[in-house]
Chain A
Amino acid sequence: DAKTTQPPSMDCAEGRAANLPCNHSTISGNEYVYWYRQIHSQGPQYIIHGLKNNETNEMASLIITEDRKSSTLILPHATLRDTAVYYCIVGLGSGDKLTFGTGTRLAVRP
């Protein structure tokens, strides 16, 4: 499986955009980029995924570079409830053996 690299921790101010980077330089052409988050004491929650194009949903935006070697998850207006660990993972699909690393711990400051 392709591996990902994320910073261990980040913070941002409430109401500002949170931009979480992820490197996946060994991603193969048919692998998707997925983002999940895990709020303390809960199971991970799906946020968004993409293959080549940028994607947006009600939770976040996903920007994938043209060479697909990195991506950025954007939370446009972070709130305190967005404080969580964010995982960037790559894989062929939800049936694939998706490998979760240690993610980025995002702290949103009041």
Chain B
Amino acid sequence: DVKVTQSSRYLVKRTGEKVFLECVQDMDHENMFWYRQDPGLGLRLIYFSYDVKMKEKGDIPEGYSVSREKKERFSLILESASTNQTSMYLCATSRGGPGGELFFGEGSRLTVL
């Protein structure tokens, strides 16, 4: 089974802090994604990556950056956290190609005070 592990289930940070959310997958998948989920808004794509050192903006990249130095690890970075970034963050991974499926981690619930 594919395992997608997010580093922290719950985090509490202060406004202005730098925040790192880590995601690691163990199935050698090429594609990795970061979503955020807010009530009434569904899942929204922040950034994604199809290969090491490659990144693409999703629908809501503002205020975020990402890093993919190794194939199995995709990090989401909040350079200066703000209260409107309080949310559930979900990492997903996939093999790519037509018809493939996404595998999600358990999520990281971030609260910015």
Contacts and interface: CB of A to CB of B under 8 A. Distances in A.
Contacts of A102: 40-42
A87 B104 CA distance: 14
Contacts of B30: 95
Given A93-B97, A95-B30, A95-B96, A46 B103 contact: yes
B101 A100 contact: no
Contacts, number: 68
Given A44-B43, A44-B90, A95 B99 contact: no
A83 to B, nearest CB: 18
Given A45-B104, A99-B59, 16 more contacts: A42-B107, A43-B107, A44-B102, A46-B102, A46-B103, A87-B42, A93-B100, A94-B31, A94-B99, A94-B101, A95-B50, A95-B94, A95-B97, A95-B100, A98-B102, A99-B45
A46 B101 contact: yes
Nearest to B30: A95
Contacts of A103: 42
B78 to A, nearest CB: 20
Interface residues of A, number: 24
A55 B96 CA distance: 20
B29 to A, nearest CB: 9
Interface in A42-71: 42-46, 49, 51
Smallest CB-CB A-B distances: 4 pairs: A43-B104, A94-B100, A94-B94, A100-B43
B106 A94 contact: no
Interface string B19-44: 00000000000110001000011111
Given A43-B105, A94-B99, A101 B31 contact: no
Contact of A94 (B4, B43, B97, B105): B97
A44 B48 CA distance: 17
